[in-house]
Amino acid sequence: MTQPQPVFATTENHAAELDQLKRSWRHPPGITGWLSFTTHQAIGMRYIITAFIFLLIGGIEALLVRFQLAYPNSHFLGPDRYNEIFTIHGTTMMFLFAVPMMEGMAIYLVPLMLGTRNVAFPRLNAFGYWMYLFGCIFLYWGIFSNSAPDAGWFSYPPLAGPQFDPGKRVDFWCQMITWTEVSAMCVAAELIATIFKMRAPGMSLNRIPLYCWSMLVQSFMVIFAMPAVMIASSMLLVDRTSGTNFVNPAEGGDPILYQHVFWFFGHPEVYIIFIPALGFVSSIIVAHGRRQIFGYPALVLSLVANGFVAFGLWVHHMFATGLPQIGEAYFTAASMMIAITSGVQIFCWIATLWTGRLRMTTALHFVFGFIAIFALGGLTGVMLAAVPLDLQAHDTFFVVAHFHYVLIGGAVFPLMGAFYHWFPKMTGRLLNETLGKWNFWVLFIGFNLTFFPMHILGLKGMTRRIYTYPTEMGWGPLNLLATYGACILALGGVMFIANVLRSRKVGAIAGDNPWDADSLEWAASSPPENYNFEYLPVATSRYPLWVPHEDRAVVTGLRNDRREVLSTTLMDAQPHHRYVLPGPSIWPLLTAISVSVGFAGSVFNNWYIVWGSVLTGICLIAWFWPRRPLELKP
Amino acid sequence: MSAAKTLVITLCFSGLLTLSACAGHQQSAIDPTGPQSGQIATLFWFFTFLLTAIFIVVLALALWTLMRRHRGIEQEPLEITHLPSPATETKLARIVTVATIASVIILFILLVSSVVTGKSIADLSTRKNALVIELTGNQWWWQVQYDNPDASRILITANEIHIPVGRPVEILGRSNDVIHSFWVPNLHGKRDLIPSRVTNEWIEADQPGAFRGQCAEFCGLQHAHMSLWVIAEPEAKFDSWFNAQLKPALAPSDPARQRGQQVFLNHECIFCHSIRGTAAAGQVAPDLTHFASRRGIAANTLPNNLGNLGGWIVDPQSVKPGNHMATVALASQDLQPLLEYLEGLQ
């Protein structure tokens, strides 16, 4: 498992240089120092851990929902609690777990895979994390002060409007969106800049790892989709807090406008969650199938096409509102097109696996689980694209089954695979493979037991978001089965946590490249140093660690006494100029606090927007206060 | 191990669905009883069988990689280049291209079949002789109004729609508060009821029967208890039902029910409910003129009988927490006459 020689060549006698590099990338000490970190590994890990905590919270909420529905006429939760819990479950999973988790993984992995030292805007990165964290805290503050939102994760007006949902509940939901979307936009901007301008020399567009391609597509989607949801939630919020009537039908506002704007975000959101997962799958298949990916251009083009088409099919969430038929046909066709691009990707992966030399690791188990579950979820998606079928299946448990197959199968299974694949890089120790395979089978069986019966429940008339149902409907047995399945699924989650906790202490030492994988992150030490690479690597191939050792090259000549990286050209990644990244700073945190004062306060009093803006302005001045260049320091 | 498990699940997909179709139900999308739902169900089975076949093929191809691992491929020295021979790559390219073209063709077939079905369902809505029903969603009950050019033949009732078999019915959907959705799966798919808009949907029953429907768009606390019955009857039976419903409530003859009527008229009931033929003319809650002829109480939360009605009137919040019916303070000797009066409103 250990490397016989350094992965890349090094110069002689570099101890002093290395020492200098370590010093310029050192984390500042103390609590204030900890709050000032700007390295991508630290921020990425914070995202991953926070998002994982919210996965657990969202999972507990899901269990409560399942317990309530296990038997007909159940009184476990009342209607009020039930509505709160399914709203928070959806909101937590979409906004506080899925998107931030994918972003955290990308913040951690993308600079390593590209062979650079940090993301392009490290302080913005820190700011983005704090915004995300404060958004989480705000929503859960509402929940624990008995103001949990209860109008669904989509908050349709007029149900979510001031007339039918008085109090602060939906306000908490609306404003939480603003925080998390600001955070997502920060990450998208820095990932695009990083992928376009900070790749290892030689890593031309056609050599970018597929995972980085998927994050590039995802980031562009975030930039176009997220403003839409912020507009939707802000219209609703000002309707609620300031008496506007954007979406209030009683005063001439239009609730269908809200649905259009919301789903213009809401559908791409699904792809924002699962496109990064497609990148995980490609990485895992190459490393554990020990074979170059088949159909790289087709895979890249499919990802890009997915990104575009994703914006053309939001109306399939609104077929039941009664839109003109010709428009519906267009959206049916667009929705089915997604199946073509997804199909191409699955075919390419299967072709790669066919001719690879598979190592049946846990990570690859999760890829097979992904193919099985995601294929089924995708095919039920084709059914939902057909207007007549959607009119029957819409807002029933059939749809609940469908999107859990797509989101858990399409995103969480690859994510679990990614944890098993990259855990050694992040911690230096391997996760236990035996426990891992048990983990996979428990999750796979639990998942299918939970969600497969829901297809049938939906067809047999069980609508979504009902807190109970009469015995005569005959939905009891399948619901009970689904609840048992959910318990098995939860057991799988506990097994994973146990594996992580155990392996962190006693797991096998991983070494730099335990899987003999191809991409640059495996050239860094495990866990990576703050500066990732002593010498920035050069990508001489699409699979830089699979070229013979003598053909590998590194960049020399960068200054080690400051956080310097190489900026390269967009197309061919020719070295362009040297670029100094800013170091640790407390100002991103203070700015995030100032913005949060404005956001949180504005729910209660509009003047807080002014106070928050003033504070934010002060913080930004301090953040961008010019510093003397290093050379001029006495 | 992996193969066996996934195969079982694959078989379940068609197996369980077929099984559930045989079970039969009064609120089921796969037990169609009308031309609209019939066409949708046909399309559904076409999609299901085609897509299940594709699913099985994809899974088989994926699992085949596990078998092939043990033979043939190992001979190619992947360690050095991590790439099989160009001949293998070309072969793979051909297979992937064929698979892609095949999926495009299949999706095109599905698209055409979906659009054709949609068109043919839409064509069902241009026929004459239709019954027009205005359906208004409220938190959490349905107001049903039979339109008629003759104003004296406009009928208002609640939570139960009677329709004649074999005659098209146009449902005009409105809402008084939030968005609801009308869904009687045995007859047709959903149509949202949206405040400030009028939506429409055509339904038709091709056999007599009682079909249950339920609000499908989340509408607040009692979304779960907002159901309705569509009762399809032969034309003659429907007509007699309709004419009976048009009549005002009969004045009660026996003293207990007369007393019950006075209890009703002297309490808050009349602010919300109307009973034609009496002074009660409230407009914000279900019309009770022929309450006793209906199957359920509180938008079919409970079956309609004396005991359930008593429980509902005494403590509506424990039956349907959050609903908008006022808890009326009744003297203990008033309850029984009131119940008898209401249950006599045939």
Give the one of B12, B83, B117 whose C-beta lies nearest to A292's C-beta: B83
Residue B306's CATH number:
2.60.40.420
Rounded to the nearest angstrom, the minimum Cα separation between B88 and chain A is 8
Identify the residue among A301, A354, A518 best suited for mutation to test binding to B, counting B beta carbons within 10 A and taking the highest: A354
Contact B62 A350 (CB under 8 A): yes
Q: Which long-range contacts (CB under 8 A, 24 or more apart) does B311-314 make?
A: B313/B338, B313/B339
Instruction: Single out the residue of A260, A258, A272, A264 nearest to residue A155, CA to CA.
Output: A258
Residue-wise pLDDT for B151-193, tens only, equals 999 999 999 999 999 999 999 999 999 999 999 999 999 999 9
Q: Tell me whether residue B154 is in a domain.
A: no
**Nearest neighbour of A382 by CB, restricted to B12, B51, B100:** B51
CB-nearest partner of B68 from A249, A292, A354: A354
Mark yes or no for CB contact A386/B43 under 8 Å: yes
Q: Supply the angle between the helices A122-144 and A169-197 in degrees, to the nearest 10.
A: 160
B312 found inside a domain: yes
Q: Which residue has 């306000």 as its token pair?
A: A171
Spatial distance between the Cα atoms of B196 and B109, rounded to a whole number of angstroms: 38
Q: Which residues of chain A are within 8 Å of residue B220 when distances are taken between CB atoms?
A: 83, 159, 164
B28 vs A80, A461, A546: nearest CB: A461
Report the residue of chain B nearest A350, measured CA to CA: B62
Residues of chain A contacting B43 with CB distance shorter than 8 Å: 386, 388-389
Q: From the CA of B152, how many Å to the nearest CA of chain A?
A: 30
**Residue B218 parent element (H or E):** none
In a domain, B118, yes or no: no
- Is some CB atom of chain A closer than 8 A to the CB atom of B196? yes
pLDDT grade for A630, boundaries at 50, 70 and 90 = low
Q: Which member of A360, A382, A466 has the closest CB to residue B224? A: A466
* Residues of chain B contacting A333 with CB distance shorter than 8 Å: 111
Give the pLDDT score at A93. Answer: 96
Q: What is the pLDDT of residues A145-159, one digit of tens each?
A: 999 999 999 999 999
What per-residue confidence (pLDDT) applies to B79?
A: 64
Query: B-chain residues within 8 Å CB-CB of A383?
Result: 44, 47-48, 51
Asked if B20 reaches chain A (Cβ–Cβ under 8 Å), the answer is: yes
Interface of A with B in 13-52 (CB under 8 A): none
pLDDT at B19: 46
Nearest to A395 among B52, B217, B221 (CB): B217
DSSP per-residue letters across A111-162: HHHHT-SS-S-HHHHHHHHHHHHHHHHHHHHHHHTT----STTTT-TTTTST
pLDDT band at residue B18, thresholds of 50, 70 and 90?
A: very low
Question: What's the pLDDT score for residue B3?
Answer: 47
> Which two structure tokens, joined as six digits, stand for B306?
């004396």
Cβ of A376 within 8 Å of Cβ of B177? The answer is no
- Provide the percentage of residues in chain A whose pLDDT is more than 90: 87
Q: Is B80 a member of any domain?
A: no
pLDDT in tens, B203-233: 999 999 999 999 999 999 999 999 999 999 9
- The pLDDT tens digits of the residues spanning A363-422 come to 999 999 999 999 999 999 999 999 999 999 999 999 999 999 999 999 999 999 999 999
**In the structure, what pLDDT confidence band is assigned to residue B94 with cuts at 50, 70 and 90?**
very high
Q: Is residue B291 part of a domain?
A: yes
Contact A408, A373 (CB under 8 A): yes
Q: Answer whether A347 touches B (CB < 8 Å).
A: yes
B19 found inside a domain: no
Report CB contact under 8 Å: B55, A379. Answer: yes
pTM: 0.93
- Taking CB atoms and an 8 Å limit, are A390 and B189 in contact across chains? yes
Nearest CA-CA distance, residue B116 and chain A, Å: 10
Hey, is the C-beta of A474 within 8 angstroms of any chain B C-beta? Answer: yes
Instruction: Establish if B82 touches chain A: CB-CB under 8 angstroms.
Output: yes
* pLDDT tens digits, B224-269: 999 999 999 999 999 999 999 999 999 998 999 999 999 999 999 9
pLDDT digit string (tens) for A523-550?
A: 999 999 999 999 999 999 999 999 888 8
Say whether A320 and B181 touch across the interface (CB within 8 A).
Answer: yes
pLDDT of residue B72: 44
Q: Are strands B191-193 and B180-182 parallel, antiparallel or unpaired?
A: antiparallel
Angle (CA) B37-B48-A301 rounded to 5° is 120
Tokens for B233, please give them.
């009857």
Q: Is the ipTM of this complex over 0.90?
A: yes
Query: Do A402 and A376 meet the contact criterion of CB atoms below 8 Å apart?
Result: no
Mean pLDDT, residues B89-95 taken together? 92
Contact assignment for B122 to A357 by CB distance below 8 Å: no
Tell me what pLDDT residue A626 has: 84
Interface test with chain A among B17, B92, B176, by most A beta carbons within 10 Å: B92
B226 touches chain A (CB under 8 A): no
Q: Which of residues A196 and A4 earns the better pLDDT score?
A: A196
Q: Give the best residue of A347, A443, A467 to mutate against chain B (max B CB count within 10 A).
A: A347
pLDDT greater than 80 at residue B315: yes
Asked if the C-beta of A383 comes within 8 angstroms of chain B's C-beta atoms, the answer is yes
Q: Is the pLDDT of residue A620 over 60?
A: yes
In this prediction, residues B59-78 reach a mean pLDDT of 67
Separation in Å, CA of A391 to nearest CA in chain B: 4
Question: For residue B321, what is the nearest residue in chain A, using CA coordinates?
Answer: A79
Judge: A375–B58 Cβ closer than 8 Å, yes or no. yes
In a domain, B18, yes or no: no
Helix (H, G, I), strand (E, B) or coil at B89: helix
Please give the residue of chain A at the shortest CA–CA distance from B67.
Answer: A354
pLDDT digits (tens, 9 = 90+) for A23-48: 999 999 999 999 999 999 999 999 99
CB B132 within 8 Å of CB B170 = yes
Contact between A169 and A161 under an 8 Å Cβ cutoff? The reply is: no
What pLDDT is attached to residue B23? 44
The pLDDT tens digits of the residues spanning A220-243 come to 999 999 999 999 999 999 999 999
Using a CB-CB distance cutoff of 8 angstroms, which residues of chain B are in contact with residue A353?
62, 65
Phi-psi region of A97 (alpha: psi -120 to 50; beta: other; left: phi over 0): alpha
Please state the domain count of chain B: 1
pLDDT higher than threshold 90 for residue A15? no
Mean of all residue pLDDT scores within chain B? 89
Q: Which residue of A has its CA nearest to B73?
A: A355
**Domain membership of residue B264 as a residue range:** 255-342
Distance (Å, whole) CA A559 – CA A581: 12
Contact B30 A460 (CB under 8 A): yes
Q: Judge: A291–B185 Cβ closer than 8 Å, yes or no.
A: no
Is position B335 within any domain? yes
CA atoms within 13 A on the CB side of A528: 31
* Arithmetic mean of pLDDT, B196-208: 93
Q: How far is Cα A569 from Cα A203, in angstroms, rounded to an integer?
A: 10
Residue B114 contacts A where some CB pair is shorter than 8 Å: yes
Q: In chain B, which among 245-304 make CB contacts under 8 A with chain A?
A: none
DSSP state letter for B163: E
The pLDDT value recorded for residue B125 is: 82
What is the count of residue pairs from A and B with beta carbons less than 8 Å apart? 268
Nearest Cα residue in chain B from A376: B55
pLDDT above 70 covers a percentage of chain A that reads: 97
Rounded to whole angstroms, the Cα distance separating A96 from A142 reads 15
Cα A364 vs. chain centroid, distance in angstroms?
20
The answer to whether the Cβ–Cβ distance between A372 and B222 falls below 8 Å is: no
Q: Is the confidence at residue A356, as pLDDT, over 90?
A: no
| Strands ordered across the beta sheet of B209-214 | B160-164, B227-233, B209-214
Is B1 a residue whose pLDDT tops 60? Answer: no
pLDDT computed for residue B88 by the predictor:
85
Cβ distance B84 to A444 less than 8 Å, yes or no, reads: no
Q: Are A122 and A585 in contact (CB under 8 A)?
A: no
CA-to-CA distance for A189 and A223, rounded, in angstroms?
Answer: 8
- pLDDT exceeds cutoff 80 at B59: yes
> Taking a contact as any Cβ pair under 8 Å apart, which residues of chain A between 194 and 233 contact chain B?
none
pLDDT of residue A2: 41
Residues of chain B contacting residue A395, judged by C-beta atoms under 8 Å apart: 181, 183, 190, 216-218
Q: Which of residues 545-564 of A touch B (CB under 8 A)?
A: 546
CB of B88 less than 8 A from some CB of A:
yes
CB contact under 8 A, B73 and A355: yes
Task: Kindly determine whether residue B13 and residue A375, on different chains, have CB atoms separated by under 8 Å.
Answer: no
Tell me whether residues A320 and B37 touch, CB distance under 8 A: no
More confident call, B144 vs A10: B144
Closest to B322 (Cα-Cα) out of A80, A162, A81, A170: A80
